[in-house]
Amino acid sequence: MAHEAPGMMHGTLDALILRTLVTGPRHGYAIARWLEEATDEMLTIEEGSLYPALYRMERKAWIEAEWGTSELNRRAKIYRLTPKGRKQLVAETEHWARFAAAVSKVLLPA
Amino acid sequence: MSDSTYGRPHRPARRREIADEVSAELEFHLEMRTREYIARGMSPADARDRALARFGDLARVRKTCREIGRRKDDDMRRREYLSELVQDIGFAMRQLLANPGFSVVAIVTLALGIGATTAIFSAVNAVVLRPLPYPEPERLVFVFNFWRGGLGSVSAGNFTDMAAEQRSFESLTAIQFSSFNLSDGSGAERVVGLRATAGYFDVFGVRPALGRGFRVDEDQSGHEQVVVLSHGLWTRHVGADPAIVGRQIRMNGLPYEVIGVMPADFDISGGTEELWVPVAFTPERKAMHDEHYLTVVGRLASGVSRSQAQQNVDAIVAGLRRRFPREAGGLVMRVEPFMAQIVGDDRGRLLTLLGAVAFVLLIGCGNVANLLLARGATRARELAIRSALGAGRARIVRQLLTESVVLALAAAAAGLAIAAWGTRSLVALTPPGVPRLEQASVDGTVLSFAFALAILSSVVFGLVPALRAARTDVIDALKEGGRGHAGVHRDWLRSLLVTAEVTLAVLLLVGAGLLIRSGIEAGRIRLGFDPGGVITARLALPEAEYTDPARVEATFLRLTEETGRLPGVQVAALTSGTPMAPGGGSNGLIPEGKPLVPDSIVNTQLRMITPEYLRAMGISLLKGRGFDSRDRRGAPKVMILGEAAAASLFPGQDPIGRRVVCCEPGPDGKSPDYKTVVGVAADVRSRGPASPVVAEFYLPVAQVPREAWTWVQRSMYIVARVESGDPATLLPALRATVARIDPDVPLFNMRTMNERLVGSLAAARFNTLLLTLLGAIGLVLSAIGIYGVIAYFVTERTSEIGVRMALGATRGDVIRLVLRQAAGPVAAGVAVGLLGSAAATRVLSAQLVGIEPGDPLTLAAVVLALLVTAIVASVAPARRAAGVDPTRALHLG
């Protein structure tokens, strides 16, 4: 069952995509599926935001793209992480951790 | 170019590709999603719908992605372009250093051309292009009398009435040039200044730096002893005293209160006028409509055009003609733009020079283009390799052009030194009289011009060689031992360059030649007087002490007598105006028998003289007699006519004994006053040999009407002819004589007649010199161009020459072959140049004296010069060709 996630901020979506690509190059659909599986279908990526995010990140050189052949022998645009993207992922992850900790302090006081 | 280890990065080249890719990517996603739903058991149609629905707004996403994709592509292109540019610039600089021979020749050629052009431009900028230092200078106009085809001065009466009735000017002023004796106890200094009406400072719109301008009440007779100083006079005369306002200085024997000082940049005529006083017309003068001596300047009211002002003035003039049929019968007035009148001929001269120096630059560019063509041939391999490595033709052209631009900019930097030196020289050597020229300098505008000129030149000399070089046939050039197909098909381009250079050189030389011949002709023209051994000096008696005309006359006559008695003086005389000097006024003459209406008036320059003047100046008396002791006050009034005046007044008849009306009313104050013509003098070229003869007439000083002293502002020239030697040696004695008679009256404008003569020709001579210099440089550069092309021809055709010699050609045959190669393009260039010169030299026709633009002698001389130059330039390569060893030449083939 899929729950609709609240509107995700740019930064969060970017971080999720980058994390996905750490596991290896994927095309856009594969990224969406991986995220769904990794979160046990709890997170549904709004697909309308996925591709613009990918294009934005490609422009910022956090990811690179190449047309290759996918499973099913069809041509697909495959993305992979760049060193710059890796650094960005580290930064975003830290930021998220701090954010989550702050929220936890408020919502789940020890 | 990328360090990607993943293979070449994906880079779509065009918008359509980007759009297609976006669509393909999104479509792929939908496909996959649809398959997923189909795998879960949905029907294909439902699966597809569900996938689309889940996706969201497909069209919007597609649009967004395309947009981002485009921007990314643009970013990438820009970065690539910049990095290529930096690469190219670095490569270009290394190329220049690696080929010092080529670089030095090219840079020197271009630096000379760009530097010289920039120098002339700085003069054009200062004199012609920059706006005048007044607010809204385009609203300034002159108002002139228009009489018999020429612009002339305005009378006080006409000005007063016009100023009262006009509706199109915001302010109007009438100006009279005048000279003033400034005395401060330690001697007297003669200063030129303006008498102006109160509106003067409003017209020009410039506030005094200290104090104020005139008040209206100061512009009235009795209240006019106030003065505004120029910055230069303030510095010089009162030591830039900041408290000068309110103090008094002594001028013309009277105290004047200093009420203001003008700012330093108010002066546009190189410091001619140095002070301003109110003109203070008396009521009588305001009613005088027939003495024309004022210059009128106005500022158009906002929104009023010059033609509207002209219409307004025409209406006022019509009224004046009605009210004053005698004085204003044929009155016409013209409103003329201020700037154009100020700059005058200088604009044409400077622009002609700019054109000429641009020609020289073009010839220089032609030579550099030839050098580049030669280099393109030797670089064939390098360029072929680039091409094989994937550089498109446009990319190669871009690289080669960058090299040209770097070359041109380097030359421009060197050329700036030449420009600065050239500008200073121009300012120092140009004869005085060109307004604002002394302000010419290499400023921001001029620097921008030099930069733009460099870029433009680089395109002119670099584009075609770049296109040529980029068209290298790759395979051919990479062949072992391949020299590339230099040879035949490149020859026509080089020949074209030679033709173009020769054409430009012909144009320059024809221009210079015409000016030189004109200068010679001007030297041959009969002046009508003998300038050798004559010195002239001017002095003016101040109004305050010399109100009585009898005293003025007596003083001047005494001065003449005493001068005549000085040792070494052969003869001395007095005149109101000498040739080639300012001063003198014109009067209207009507011969007896003609009706006394304005149409009968012959405008003639008046010279008031003592009887010895004709002898002192060496002017021949053609008919009748000169003035003598008979012609005293009270005796019958006489005049002498110049040839031209006599021909106008009494065409075809003998003027001796005839009578002429002029200058004053008769004894009863109403009827005309006749004077009898007693002599005819030879024509005098009063404005210099280059100007046409002006009609003149002479009156004896002893008989002039009392108003005449006011006409000339009590200012006369003393003329002395020495028996032998340099007349300038007379100066100290002259000064002493004047000082003895009145120590407060300075002698000024002291020159020998020869000096005046040279001075009047100075501007034309300088112009001719410059143009000749440019022509010579152009010729030398063309010679170098011809040499280069012929030398290249010989090198390329060495094997062919070897074959010919092996087959029996003699040295002479080979030399003729080479010369013929030069003959074609040179002859074509001469032909086109001669045709072009017919049109181009029309520009010079205003400056030519005594010859036409199509003068055959000049054209023949230029053709000869070009032929000789072409032969000289071809001699060395021709001899080299004749010295070719056939065996070696064939071996090389």
- For residue range B616-633, what is the model confidence (pLDDT) as tens digits? 999 999 999 999 888 888
Check CB contact under 8 Å for B55 and A48: yes
Q: Where are the alpha helices (DSSP H) in B797-844?
A: 798-806, 811-840
Check CB contact under 8 Å for B6 and A56: no
Q: What is the Cα B438 distance to its own chain's centre? A: 13
Nearest CA in chain A to B54: A47
For residues B469 and B491, give the distance between their C-alpha atoms in angstroms, rounded to a whole number. Answer: 14
Check CB contact under 8 Å for B25 and A66: no
**pLDDT exceeds cutoff 70 at B528:** yes
- pLDDT band at residue A5, thresholds of 50, 70 and 90? very low
On chain B, the residues whose CB falls within 8 A of the CB of A58 are 72
- The question of ipTM being above 0.90 is answered as no
**pLDDT exceeds cutoff 90 at A84:** yes
For residues A16 and A31, give the distance between their C-alpha atoms in angstroms, rounded to a whole number. Answer: 9
- Return the higher-pLDDT residue of B289 and B503: B503
Looking at B65-79, B189-203, B796-810, which range is the least confident one? B796-810
Check CB contact under 8 Å for B29 and A70: no
For chain B, say whether A106 makes contact (Cβ under 8 Å). Answer: no
- Return the higher-pLDDT residue of B475 and B794: B794
Check CB contact under 8 Å for A74 and B4: no
Q: B384 with B478: CB under 8 angstroms?
A: yes
On chain A, the residues whose CB falls within 8 A of the CB of B26 are 51
Q: B640 with B681: CB under 8 angstroms?
A: yes
**pLDDT exceeds cutoff 70 at A6:** no
pLDDT digit string, tens, across residues B87-113? 999 999 998 999 898 899 999 999 999
Nearest CA to CA, how far is A64 from chain B (Å)? 8
- Confidence at residue B892, expressed as pLDDT on a 0 to 100 scale: 58
Tell me the C-alpha to C-alpha distance, in Å, between residue B531 and each of B250, B527, B566, B580.
37, 9, 20, 11
CB-nearest partner of A48 from B6, B25, B56: B56
- Confidence at residue B478, expressed as pLDDT on a 0 to 100 scale: 63
Check CB contact under 8 Å for A47 and B68: no
Q: What is the mean pLDDT of chain B?
A: 86
Tell me the C-alpha to C-alpha distance, in Å, between residue A49 and each of A14, A16, A78.
10, 12, 17
- Confidence at residue B474, expressed as pLDDT on a 0 to 100 scale: 62
For residues A32 and B164, give the distance between their C-alpha atoms in angstroms, rounded to a whole number. Answer: 90
- Return the higher-pLDDT residue of B224 and B354: B354
On chain B, the residues whose CB falls within 8 A of the CB of A55 are 64-65, 68-69, 72
- pLDDT band at residue A81, thresholds of 50, 70 and 90? very high
Q: B220 with B285: CB under 8 angstroms?
A: no
- Confidence at residue A12, expressed as pLDDT on a 0 to 100 scale: 83
pLDDT digit string, tens, across residues B434-471? 888 888 889 999 999 999 999 999 999 999 888 888 87
Taking the C-alpha atoms of B200, B201, B204 and B210 in order, what is their torsion angle to the nearest 10 degrees? 150
- The class level of CATH for A11-100 reads mainly alpha
**pLDDT exceeds cutoff 90 at B16:** no
For chain B, say whether A74 makes contact (Cβ under 8 Å). Answer: yes
- Confidence at residue B479, expressed as pLDDT on a 0 to 100 scale: 64
On chain B, the residues whose CB falls within 8 A of the CB of A51 are 25-26, 29, 61, 64-65
On chain A, the residues whose CB falls within 8 A of the CB of B32 are 29
For chain B, say whether A47 makes contact (Cβ under 8 Å). Answer: yes
CB-nearest partner of B65 from A51, A75, A76: A51
On chain B, the residues whose CB falls within 8 A of the CB of A48 are 55-57, 60-61
- Confidence at residue B369, expressed as pLDDT on a 0 to 100 scale: 93
On chain A, the residues whose CB falls within 8 A of the CB of B75 are 59
On chain A, the residues whose CB falls within 8 A of the CB of B54 are 47
CB-nearest partner of B57 from A48, A58, A75: A48
Q: b or e along B251-266 (b: 16 or more beta carbons within 10 Å of the residue's beta carbon)?
A: bbbeebebbbbbeeeb
Mean pLDDT of A22-33: 91
pLDDT digit string, tens, across residues B318-337? 999 888 877 777 788 999 99
Check CB contact under 8 Å for A70 and B26: no
β pairing state of B169-183 and B248-251: antiparallel
Residue B780 corresponds to which amino acid? Answer: V
- Confidence at residue A2, expressed as pLDDT on a 0 to 100 scale: 36
Residue spans per domain, chain B:
15-82, 137-343, 345-524+760-892, 534-724
Nearest CA in chain B to A76: B25
On chain B, the residues whose CB falls within 8 A of the CB of A34 are none
For residues B91 and B94, give the distance between their C-alpha atoms in angstroms, rounded to a whole number. Answer: 5
For residues A2 and B791, give the distance between their C-alpha atoms in angstroms, rounded to a whole number. Answer: 86
For chain B, say whether A10 makes contact (Cβ under 8 Å). Answer: no
For A17, phi and psi rounded to 5 degrees? Answer: -65, -45
Looking at B11-15, B161-165, B298-302, B479-483, which range is the least confident one? B479-483
Count of CB contacts below 8 A, A vs B?
Answer: 66
- pLDDT band at residue B669, thresholds of 50, 70 and 90? low
pLDDT digit string, tens, across residues B23-70? 999 999 999 999 999 999 989 998 999 888 888 889 999 999 999 999
Check CB contact under 8 Å for B65 and A65: no
**pLDDT exceeds cutoff 90 at B415:** yes
Check CB contact under 8 Å for B24 and A75: yes
Q: B309 with B577: CB under 8 angstroms?
A: no
On chain B, the residues whose CB falls within 8 A of the CB of A27 are 25, 28-29
Q: B681 with B698: CB under 8 angstroms?
A: yes
pLDDT digit string, tens, across residues B809-854? 888 888 888 888 888 889 999 999 999 988 877 878 877 777 777 7
The segment with the largest mean pLDDT, out of B402-416, B701-715, B779-793, is B402-416
Residue B247 corresponds to which amino acid? Answer: R
Tell me the C-alpha to C-alpha distance, in Å, between residue B442 and each of B119, B268, B420, B786.
8, 19, 6, 34
Nearest CA to CA, how far is B74 from chain A (Å)? 10
Looking at A59-68, B129-138, B315-324, B584-593, which range is the least confident one? B584-593
Nearest CA to CA, how far is B21 from chain A (Å)? 9
For residues B552 and B741, give the distance between their C-alpha atoms in angstroms, rounded to a whole number. Answer: 12
- pLDDT band at residue B485, thresholds of 50, 70 and 90? very low
Check CB contact under 8 Å for A66 and B7: yes
For chain B, say whether A66 makes contact (Cβ under 8 Å). Answer: yes
For B715, phi and psi rounded to 5 degrees? Answer: -120, 125
- Confidence at residue B7, expressed as pLDDT on a 0 to 100 scale: 34
Q: b or e along B531-562 (b: 16 or more beta carbons within 10 Å of the residue's beta carbon)?
A: bebbbbbbbbbbeebbeebeebbebbeebbeb
Check CB contact under 8 Å for B9 and A66: yes
For residues B214 and B216, give the distance between their C-alpha atoms in angstroms, rounded to a whole number. Answer: 6
CB-nearest partner of A47 from B56, B60, B69: B56
- Return the higher-pLDDT residue of B226 and B595: B226
Tell me the residues of B at the A interface, defined by beta carbons under 8 Å apart.
4, 6-7, 9-10, 21, 24-26, 28-29, 31-33, 54-57, 60-61, 64-65, 68-69, 71-72, 75
On chain A, the residues whose CB falls within 8 A of the CB of B65 are 51-52, 55
Nearest CA to CA, how far is A69 from chain B (Å)? 11
Check CB contact under 8 Å for B33 and A29: yes
Check CB contact under 8 Å for B72 and A76: no
Check CB contact under 8 Å for B61 and A52: yes
CB-nearest partner of B71 from A27, A59, A74: A59
Check CB contact under 8 Å for A64 and B21: no
Strand partners, B751: B536
Nearest CA in chain B to A29: B29
For chain B, say whether A68 makes contact (Cβ under 8 Å). Answer: no
Residue B325 burial (CB count, 10 A): 12
Q: What is the Cα B829 distance to its own chain's centre? A: 28
- pLDDT band at residue B880, thresholds of 50, 70 and 90? confident
- Confidence at residue B480, expressed as pLDDT on a 0 to 100 scale: 53
DSSP string, B414-447: HHHHHHHHHHHHHHHHSPS--TTGGG----HHHH
- Return the higher-pLDDT residue of B765 and B490: B765
- Confidence at residue B477, expressed as pLDDT on a 0 to 100 scale: 62
Mean pLDDT of B539-564: 87
Nearest CA to CA, how far is B89 from chain A (Å)? 28
For chain B, say whether A67 makes contact (Cβ under 8 Å). Answer: yes
Strand partners, A101: none
- Return the higher-pLDDT residue of B322 and A73: B322
Q: How big is chain A by its Cα radius of gyration, in Å?
A: 15
For residues B307 and B168, give the distance between their C-alpha atoms in angstroms, rounded to a whole number. Answer: 10
Mean pLDDT of B357-382: 89
Sorted by sequence, the CB contacts under 8 Å of residue B78 that are 6+ apart come out as none
Q: Which residue in A1, A8, A10, A29 has the most chain B C-beta atoms within 10 A of its own C-beta, making it the best mutation to test that interface?
A: A29
Mean pLDDT of B657-680: 82
- Confidence at residue B196, expressed as pLDDT on a 0 to 100 scale: 92
**pLDDT exceeds cutoff 80 at B472:** no
Q: Which residue in A1, A4, A37, A55 has the most chain B C-beta atoms within 10 A of its own C-beta, making it the best mutation to test that interface?
A: A55
For B173, phi and psi rounded to 5 degrees? Answer: -145, 150
CB-nearest partner of B6 from A27, A64, A67: A64
Mean pLDDT of B765-772: 89
